[in-house]
Structure 1
Amino acid sequence: MAMNPDEFDDFLNDEDEPAPVVDTRADGRLLRVPLGRISPNLVNPRTDFGTEDDLKDFGRSLKRRQIQAVPVVTRKAYLNLWPDHKDGIGNVDVVIVSGERRYRGATAVDLPALECVINDGYAESRKTFLDAVVSENIDRQNFDAIEEANAVEVLVEAFGTARAVAEHYERVDGWVSQRRILLRLAPEAQELVRRQNMPLEAARKLGKLVKDHQWSASDQLQWWEDEQQERAKKAAAKKAARTAERKAAAQAVSVPPSFTAVKPADAVPAAVPGIAQRVEPEQSSHAPAPAPAALPVQRETAPSPTPTPAEAPPSAASPAVRPAGPIRQPVADEPSVLVRQLPTHDWEQLADIVIAELPEAALHNLTERLLEAVGADTSSQSA
């Protein structure tokens, strides 16, 4: 059942007033055009349409269903722009704007016709036509760099200047120059770019060198060979540096940090009021280290109303200390003893050591000396 055009708004069940349907085609007509009446345009910068097998696969897909119509212009509209292309396009009815790959795929499988949309609005000017031809290709991801460079060059010729092209496509000026520079490469070097065997960054660098030095094809290929060797050296150096860093990091993780609480031999201990420390004679680096031996330690005590009991010799694990007084120097043939340094930086630990080592009477005498040192009243202590 055919729908009444006046009932279009009811079909959408929209209570609001619908916008009018506008035919946006300039003179658009969807036609099924025989392949013999269609010609590709002669200004398409694209030259790589895939292999013969690729085109046959694409043509078989078009046989099943052609989803996208081919935009074309009439022969007359096209020749108004390029009259000298009359012999090139032949006696056809329409000329392809974009979609030449569809045309080639259909030809590969002997498809009799293609659905086309005729729109002479694309042929208002060369600029308009080329913009329609190139825009679709530039936006394609598989548009190779050399084809893109050719497309940009065609646009510059149509627009007059590179800046006009950049402004039209809302790009910076460098976007145009970076592509046009590739056209200075020899065909052999351009083929390397097409196959992606030469990166674009290197190709643009080579293009600038060709512009400055007018290099021949052999010069360009020699430069690329040298450039590859230099790049390989830099890559190997970076790889070696990364490997060394990983090894160093692995070793740092696997080896635990060493720790010692022993002070350096040349460290001078801080003086402690009332306690003298043993000074060791300097040892020769060539003489063998003598075996440790216990040395008697002299202690001097201050006068006390009560006699001082006999003192027991310090144990091997306790520090060798004695009250203040003249320092006893060992004789020349006396073996030196490595004395553990007192923890003068930690008074609480120092106090614990003194309390553990000194007898009670000596502790009382030491306490009086310390109180006198700080100017405290010791009368109450004596009483």
Structure 2
Amino acid sequence: MAKLRDTLQRIQGNLDESMGVRNQEMRPTLSPVAKTKDVGRRALRSFGTLDIEKLIPDPEQPRAVFSNEELEQLANSIREKGQLQPIRVRWSEELATWIIISGERRYRASKQAGLQSVNCQFVDGTLSKSEVLQQQLIENLLREDLKPVEEAKAFDQLRGMTGWNSKQLAEAIRVTRSKVTRSLALLRLPDQIRQQVEDGKLSAKAAYELSKLSSDDQILAAFNSLDRSGDYSAAKAQNQVKQRRGKSTPSKTRTKLTFASEHGIKVVVSASKQCNYEQVEEALSIALAEVRHRLDNNTQL
């Protein structure tokens, strides 16, 4: 009897279906709705197009100043030729949006050009703050987009995050060690002098020369002399440093090291305080950067 009942049920189902009656929903099952982070991505997941309003600049981007004139030039180019290079972005779970790693200038110019969407390169995986900063630094340095003080602050921030010394930092971001040491020297300047560098009144080279003076008062006095003369060149700054170095009060030497070459040349490192070898290495790298600078400018002994 049970078998007969099962057979009748199967027959009844076939009969109902032949008459157009269906007891179950037969619509095809659709794929799940895309996650927010996947909207706009193509089959090649590393690249895609995003609504420009779904992007935000990185608040910790080392570059803080953008030239209005340069942005307008790039915006005009984008209007004429389109966006030629994608913007590199990373996903933020915390903000549920995409954050720009590199290409903020392209992003700003694209908005200025009236683009509704932009081409992006998606960086998957979790990046540490130091990794993001390192990528941004390399991008900006290769394009020479950072102003001197911005660059110095970025170097210092990256060094603080990683614990690197100047040599390790230079190797990591593929620049010369002298570039790092000369840049970091700007942070030793009084705020007033750094502002002159940021405003473009004092060149980074001239500011580096002033950083060799031992006190803020000497640095400010030297700058005031440059200001009165109207000559802000690195050579003039170098002369001011030479004049004032002779006026410093002699102090007792607590560190003195002598390094001799096979050619009979001696290099002496002395300081009024006790130093470690890392500080000595830093001083020697700054001295080497100065020697290279003088060679570049054909300075004679």
Q: Report deviation, 1:146.
A: 1.9
Cα separation, partners in 2 of 1:216 and 1:59, compared to 1, 3 Å: farther
Quote the residue 2:52 is aligned against: 35
Map 1:222-301 to 2 at 5 A.
Answer: 222-225=224-227
Map 1:87-98 to 2 at 5 A.
Answer: 91-98=95-102
1:112 paired to 2:128: no
Q: Which of residues 189, 196, 200 in structure 1 aligns to 2:193? A: 189
Cα separation, partners in 2 of 1:225 and 1:158, compared to 1, 3 Å: same
Asked whether the equivalents of residues 130 and 158 of structure 1 are also in contact (C-alpha less than 8 Å), the reply is no
Q: Which has the larger radius of gyration?
A: 1
For 2:77 and 2:186, how far apart are their aligned partners in 1? 35
Q: Report deviation, 1:172.
A: 5.1
Deviation digits for residues 354-373 of structure 1 (CA, Å, limit 9, x no counterpart) = xxxxxxxxxxxxxxxxxxxx
For 1:221 and 1:32, how far apart are their aligned partners in 2? 50
1:130 paired to 2:133: yes
For 1:63 and 1:172, how far apart are their aligned partners in 2? 38
Cα separation, partners in 2 of 1:217 and 1:118, compared to 1, 3 Å: same
Quote the residue 1:214 is aligned against: 216
Deviation digits for residues 57-91 of structure 1 (CA, Å, limit 9, x no counterpart) = 42243234111010100012xx5xxxxxxxxxxx5
**Counterpart AA for 1:149:** A
- Counterpart secondary structure, 1:73: strand
1:75 paired to 2:113: no
Q: Which of residues 144, 147, 159 in structure 1 aligns to 2:150? A: 147
- Counterpart secondary structure, 1:131: helix
Unaligned runs of 5+ in 1: 1-26, 80-90, 235-383
For 2:177 and 2:131, how far apart are their aligned partners in 1? 21
Cα separation, partners in 2 of 1:74 and 1:224, compared to 1, 3 Å: same
**TM-score (norm: length of structure 1):** 0.43
> Structure 1 vs Structure 2: percent identity of aligned residues?
25
Cα separation, partners in 2 of 1:98 and 1:231, compared to 1, 3 Å: closer
For 2:76 and 2:132, how far apart are their aligned partners in 1? 30
Deviation digits for residues 236-289 of structure 1 (CA, Å, limit 9, x no counterpart) = xxxxxxxxxxxxxxxxxxxxxxxxxxxxxxxxxxxxxxxxxxxxxxxxxxxxxx
Q: Report deviation, 1:150.
A: 2.1
**Counterpart AA for 2:110:** A
For 2:56 and 2:105, how far apart are their aligned partners in 1? 12
Deviation digits for residues 13-49 of structure 1 (CA, Å, limit 9, x no counterpart) = xxxxxxxxxxxxxx84322211221111122111221
Quote the residue 1:161 is aligned against: 164
Query: Could you say what the CA RMSD is over the residues aligned between the two structures, in angstroms?
Result: 3.2
Q: Report deviation, 1:133.
A: 0.8
Cα separation, partners in 2 of 1:67 and 1:190, compared to 1, 3 Å: same
The structure richer in strand per residue is 2
Q: Report deviation, 1:50.
A: 0.9
Q: Which of residues 64, 69, 90 in structure 2 aligns to 1:47? A: 64
- Counterpart secondary structure, 1:43: coil
**Counterpart AA for 2:179:** W
Asked whether the equivalents of residues 188 and 217 of structure 1 are also in contact (C-alpha less than 8 Å), the reply is no
For 2:107 and 2:157, how far apart are their aligned partners in 1? 22
Cα separation, partners in 2 of 1:231 and 1:185, compared to 1, 3 Å: closer
Asked whether the equivalents of residues 28 and 119 of structure 1 are also in contact (C-alpha less than 8 Å), the reply is no
**TM-score (norm: length of structure 2):** 0.54
- For these two proteins, the number of residue pairs brought into alignment is 191
Quote the residue 1:63 is aligned against: 79
Q: Report deviation, 1:222.
A: 1.4
Asked whether the equivalents of residues 75 and 113 of structure 2 are also in contact (C-alpha less than 8 Å), the reply is yes
Cα separation, partners in 2 of 1:34 and 1:172, compared to 1, 3 Å: closer
For 2:157 and 2:234, how far apart are their aligned partners in 1? 37
For 2:168 and 2:62, how far apart are their aligned partners in 1? 19
Q: Report deviation, 1:165.
A: 0.6
**Counterpart AA for 2:149:** I
**Counterpart AA for 1:151:** A
**Counterpart AA for 2:184:** R
Cα separation, partners in 2 of 1:39 and 1:215, compared to 1, 3 Å: farther
Deviation digits for residues 129-175 of structure 1 (CA, Å, limit 9, x no counterpart) = 11111101112235332222122122212221223212323555443
- Counterpart secondary structure, 2:48: strand
